[in-house]
Amino acid sequence: MHKFLIGLMWLFAALLVADAARAERIKEIATIAGVRNNQIVGYGIVVGLDGTGDQTTQTPFTVQSMINMLSRMGVNLPPGQTLQLKNVAAVMVTAELPPFARVGQPLDVTVSSIGNAKSLRGGTLILTPLKGADGQVYAMAQGNVVVVGAGATGGGAKATVNHLAAGRIINGATVEREVPLSLAQGDSIQFELKRSDFGTAQRVVEAIERAMGPGVATAIDGRQIQVRLPAQPEARVAFLGRIENLEVTPVELPAKVIVNARTGSVVMNRAVTIEECAVAHGNLSVSVTPQTNVSQPAPLSAGQTVATTNTGIEIKQEERQLVQLKAGANLADVVKALNAVGANPQDLIAILQAMKQSGSLRAELEVI
């Protein structure tokens, strides 16, 4: 009896650990409405390349950009003067402006060639304004481009390691304008679930009310949860910090099978099960092989040498046994059984579609 009680206690402990392992913090399954990143972009020029820049005859915008930049610096070219540039490349500069970013905060930027430059390695980005969707300048970028890769050419041969037409500048931009965002406006705020689910929304409400008191949270729909904020603005940051770190066990995902028809990839979650069914799979291949022979006449005869064609036809059919799949099988059983049939990813797509049509596949089948 004593051993039985000890074993029962270990069982309950294991169940509690398993349940805690599935729990996630609210910050991992939901975001605060309006608190998000903003994309900013700009057009710039990278200089200092070792002869790997744009070919100016094919990218006239690179030459035009250099002429405009030089004119702003007080350098005026003679009329009709053409530039033959090899160390300059036109690029697009992109970055993400995080929420609550302040003036002077550094940002990482990505620099990508838009011309036919061979490599941006060793180049320097000239001061580039980065604009948002509203056309306002939110940051300025400049610095040395870091390209993780290498390339070499010679004797008609070419070798490239990684991608050379794009690079990064760590802390390469400085925030010049802030996006207005305040938590002190209004008496409530909304959390938005990353995946819409009414059950998960209700569990989030219950977790918030257990920690913060009844009536604090209300589920508006399957994605939005409205949370009442404290009246004191200085207490709202700590209040939201506590809520974001509350643990919630999301409702288990629905059974789903994702099929990528272009690559043949098939991904199934653990909730996928099947009804009892039988699957047989075999490949029929027909090969036609023409063989050319030369017909040579006998010596001193009046005949002529001609070419004749003999065609060989061969039909092969792989013999596969009928595999029976038991009802209620889990993901491991499904994969093991389909592998026993000898199905490759493309064949697996056809088998899953047929199982769905027959009603044997207890999951949603989505083809992307």
If asked whether residues 55 and 166 sit together in one domain, one would say yes
Same domain, 167 and 140: yes
Same domain, yes or no: 140 and 226: no
When pLDDT is averaged across residues 251-277 and rounded to a whole number, the result is 76
Residue 112: the pLDDT is 94
For the chain, give the percent of residues with pLDDT over 90: 26
176 in Cβ contact with 189 (< 8 Å): no
Tell whether 138 and 168 lie within a shared domain.
yes
Pair 58, 169 in one domain: yes
> Considering the domain boundaries, does residue 78 fall inside one?
no
Please count the structural domains in the chain.
3
Domain membership of residue 353 (yes or no) is: yes
Range of the domain at 292: 256-296+306-367
Per-residue pLDDT, 235 = 87
Are residues 186 and 166 part of one domain?
no
Residue 345 lies in a domain: yes
Tens digit of each residue's pLDDT (9 = 90 or more) over 52-87? 888 877 888 888 888 888 888 888 877 766 777 888
Mean pLDDT of 146-150: 77
Give me the chain's average pLDDT, please: 78
In a domain, 32, yes or no: no
In sign, the C-alpha dihedral spanning 150, 154, 159, 164 is: positive
Question: For residue range 150-195, what is the model confidence (pLDDT) as tens digits?
Answer: 555 554 555 556 678 899 999 999 999 998 876 667 788 889 998 8
The pTM of the whole model exceeds 0.75 = no
Shared domain for 145 and 129, answered yes or no, is yes
Q: Indicate if 215 and 273 belong to the same structural domain.
A: no
> pLDDT tens digits for 48-58?
998 888 887 78
In DSSP terms, 40 is beta-bridged to 95
* Lateral strand order in the sheet of 30-32: 30-32, 188-193, 224-228, 217-219
In this structure, the answer to whether residues 53 and 144 fall within a common structural domain is yes
Q: Which residues contact 112 (CB under 8 A, 6 or more apart)?
A: 91, 92, 93, 94, 165, 166
Q: Quick check: is 155 in a domain?
A: no
Residue 8 in any domain: the answer is no
Grade residue 287 by pLDDT with cuts at 50, 70 and 90.
low
Q: Does a structural domain hold residue 301?
A: no
Statement to judge: residues 194 and 169 lie in one domain: no
108/125 same-domain check: yes
Contact 211, 246 (CB under 8 A): yes
H-only helix segments in 45-179: 60-72
Report yes or no on 76 lying in a domain: no
Same-domain check for residues 271 and 191: no
CB-based contact 203:249 (threshold 8 Å): yes
